[in-house]
Structure 1
Amino acid sequence: MAGTPRTILRLEGLALFTIASVAFSYTGLSWWLYAALFLLPDVSFVAYGAGPRLGAMIYNILHTMIGPALLIGIGLFLASPLLLGLAAIWAAHIGFDRMLGYGLKYATGFSDTHLGRIGRDRAGA
């Protein structure tokens, strides 16, 4: 992944991070909660201890917008600032990762992502 598509995808990540962070501010929840939970989806790295296939699957489940979108829907239905805030933190984390070039993982290894190869031996990234 290089050139204009790479730039657009990273800007898209920045937009998601920014919008989700602003949305969090409207929940009235503590920024300490935001700080404490922001990196929580990265606990999924532990699943790589069981192998790259399971690691990629767990990582991808926690790094797609499906979970936050469902949580937003439930939060809106229940009028729950807590659920909306948790969804915003989760979405902000995903946007931040995308902004930095971290994409969804392939089962071939942690460095192989839908946004291109990451790490020291990346090509064109």
Structure 2
Amino acid sequence: MKNLIKIEELTMFLLTIYLFSFLDYAWWVYLMLILTPDIGMLGYLINTKVGATTYNLFHHKGIAIIIGFLGIWWLIPELQLAGIILFGHSSMDRVFGYGLKFSDNFRHTHLGNL
């Protein structure tokens, strides 16, 4: 089952690369920004509860979809880009087993323990 989930997440990650190709940005922009959602880990400098909250905010696919659709609706390419990057990063993380975090420990995720 874990391999099936990883294949599904990899497919979603590849979808973001495809969607990015419709935006008017150079390819290096995707590569430069794909790790930026990890800024949410800075909350762990305060404590695990804040860290889990900020991490999950930057890695929640629903939020990524909403941001992307708002960019489409309002014709704001920066929001479209942000949605694609957030969604792609979340999918990439989940390919490697990193899921949304519980507040007790960074290694305790919705996909199991790391």
- TM-score under structure 2 normalisation? 0.92
1:35-85 superposed Cα distances (whole Å, 9 cap, x missing partner):
221111111111101111110111011111122111122111122333212
2:97 maps to a residue whose letter is G
In the other structure, the counterpart of 2:102 is 106
1:38 maps to a residue whose letter is I
Pairwise CA RMSD:
1.2
What is the rounded CA distance, in whole Å, between the counterparts of 2:86 and 2:111 in structure 1? 20
Kindly tell me the number of residue pairs found equivalent between the two proteins: 114
| Structure with more contact order per residue of length (Cα contacts < 8 Å, sep ≥ 6) | 1
Deviation for aligned residue 1:106 = 0.7
In the other structure, the counterpart of 2:21 is 25
Structure 1 unaligned residues grouped into runs of 5+? 119-125
- Equivalent residue runs for 1:79-90 within 5 Å: 79-90=75-86
Large movers: runs of 4+ above 6 Å = none
- Equivalent residue runs for 1:1-125 within 5 Å: 4=1, 6-118=2-114
